[in-house]
Amino acid sequence: MVERDQIPREKMLEIVSDLEEMGVGAVTFSGGGDPFYYKPLLETVKRLADGPIRFASLTNGARLSGELASIFAHHGTWLRVSLDGWDDASYAKYRGIRVGEYTKLMENLAAFKRLGGSCYLGISLIVDRDNAEHVEDSVKRLQDIGVDSVKISPCITSNDGKESNQYHQPFFSTVRAQLDRLQAATSDRSFELFDAYHELDEKFDKSYSWCPYLQVLCVIGADLKVYSCQDKAYTPEGLLGSIEHQSFSDMWLTGKDKFYHINPQRDCAHHCVANKKNLMLSELFAADLDHSFFV
């Protein structure tokens, strides 16, 4: 990925038109940087807000303010804010930014909830050895601010599940104890705590040879290329095609071979967020359709 790459405004609006004509249901804005720094984003989400496509975004929350925040609050489906630090000093150290941005983030989150609207505001808290003792306090503060959910996940240190588990082993019980206390104390039904902090499979081997999920959720890169998934974005093996000199719909609807050149058994021996979905879809597609009427 080249940091200066971004989708030109005209191309972004062309993509939106394609997605509307193709009947796409939803769009998520993400990136190697924060999508809220993308200048055409406001115009893009205004266009989406007037149409049938739902939209959401990942963000660090630094620019979650003004008209853009208002559009998301009242027309967006969800926002997910990534978080690691627990105060100004730790947040600045994690991100390599000036001290005080954590306080600004908390203010932005609280102000966003005061806007009302139906947009679901979730926090993704990634646990490592530095913030392991601060999980409980962080969740309580976020709950007091009014966020809708916090997801607790382990940082992935290696494509070898055993190595990642070994990294977390010294503080695993500390984090688990905090999560157990939080679960026991959570009575507010408007707040959800997603506990994804668990040991990883030691092997990331895949049992299927085709990835159905890449036909459900692809990645349009800032380099005007389309990739199979977030894990393989900006890699040659994940490339499905380019839209630099053609429309997204022309690229997507022309030729089927591109959807089958990735073999998860061969190419995806790593952590994959779509693995459980792929297992479910593979089982569904392998079923005898004549028998499905009796289920």
Domain layout of the chain by residue ranges? 60-195, 212-285
Non-local CB neighbours of 269 within 8 Å, separated by 6+ positions? 159, 204, 205, 206
Q: What mean pLDDT, rounded, does the chain reach?
A: 93
Do 73 and 116 meet the contact criterion of CB atoms below 8 Å apart?
yes
pLDDT at 200: 84
Helix (H, G, I), strand (E, B) or coil at 82: strand
Characterize the bridge pairing of strands 239-242 and 225-227: antiparallel
Distances in Å between the Cα of 222 and the Cα atoms of 11, 47, 232, 233 are 11, 20, 14, 10
Tell the CATH topology of 60-195: Transcription Regulator spoIIAA (3.30.750)
Do 28 and 55 meet the contact criterion of CB atoms below 8 Å apart?
yes
pLDDT at 288: 83
Helical (H) or strand (E) element with 79: strand 78-83
* pTM beyond cutoff 0.85: yes
Q: Long-range contacts for 157-162 (Cβ within 8 Å, ≥24 apart)? A: 159/204, 159/269, 159/270, 159/271, 160/202, 160/204, 161/199, 161/200, 161/201, 161/202, 161/203, 161/204, 161/271, 162/202
Give the span between the Cα atoms of 175 and 171, in whole angstroms: 6
pLDDT tens track, the chain, 295 positions: 555 789 999 999 999 999 999 999 999 999 777 999 999 999 999 999 999 999 999 999 999 999 999 999 999 999 999 999 999 999 999 999 999 999 999 999 999 999 999 999 999 999 999 999 999 999 999 999 999 999 999 999 988 889 999 999 999 999 999 999 999 987 767 899 999 999 888 778 899 999 999 988 999 999 999 999 988 999 999 999 999 999 999 999 999 999 999 999 999 988 888 999 999 988 888 888 787 777 6
pLDDT at 239: 95
pLDDT at 185: 85
pLDDT at 120: 98
Non-local CB neighbours of 62 within 8 Å, separated by 6+ positions? 34, 36, 101, 104, 105, 108
pLDDT at 290: 81
pLDDT at 282: 87
Give the span between the Cα atoms of 152 and 149, in whole angstroms: 10
Count of beta carbons in the 10 Å neighbourhood of residue 125: 22
Q: How far is CA 221 from the centre of its chain?
A: 15
Q: Tell me the pLDDT tens digit for each residue of 69-79.
A: 999 999 999 99
Give the span between the Cα atoms of 106 and 109, in whole angstroms: 5
Q: Tell me the pLDDT tens digit for each residue of 170-229.
A: 999 999 999 999 999 877 678 999 999 998 887 788 999 999 999 889 999 999 999 999
pLDDT at 2: 58
